[in-house]
Structure 1
Amino acid sequence: MARVTGIGGVFIKSTGDHKALAAWYEQHLGITIESWGGAILRWPEDTADDKGLTVWSTAAPDTKWFAPSTASFMINYRVD
């Protein structure tokens, strides 16, 4: 049976300006926002081949990316 080995991504749908939301996280929580608008969080103690990457990003309020869900966030798991 497949097993969850970590968090692959955390995605937040903004209720307003998603770039401003990402900037808030950068300023107040120290998340480094990359040029593509999201962050890569690394977990060096993870022994998996990808060294425990987690992608973090905000999305515009009108994104269709989460469809058909109406949730305001999405979590993707890393699975073996």
Structure 2
Amino acid sequence: MMATVSITSNEGALYSASAVLEVSATNTNLEYNQPPLRIKQAGQQVGAASIRIEDRYPDIELIETDQIAPAGKYEIAV
């Protein structure tokens, strides 16, 4: 049996920089290594993807919020 959480949006087309799912956290303690999202793979077999994106044009953007654009912006695109 596989445990799965599925989030489906039926709001139609998004005409702005909206997201279907947003994970937001405020770390007021300033303690090290407390991410708002953590993915742990506990399987016994190797080779499974931890993150999989299925899209016509997959794109990942990494943005350092303490930098002035375009510094601190990195993109992984296919």
Instruction: Bin the TM-score by the shorter chain.
Output: under 0.3
Q: TM-score, normalised by structure 1?
A: 0.24
Q: TM-score, normalised by structure 2?
A: 0.25
Structure with greater contact order relative to length (CA < 8 Å, sep ≥ 6): 1
**Larger Cα-atom Rg:** 2
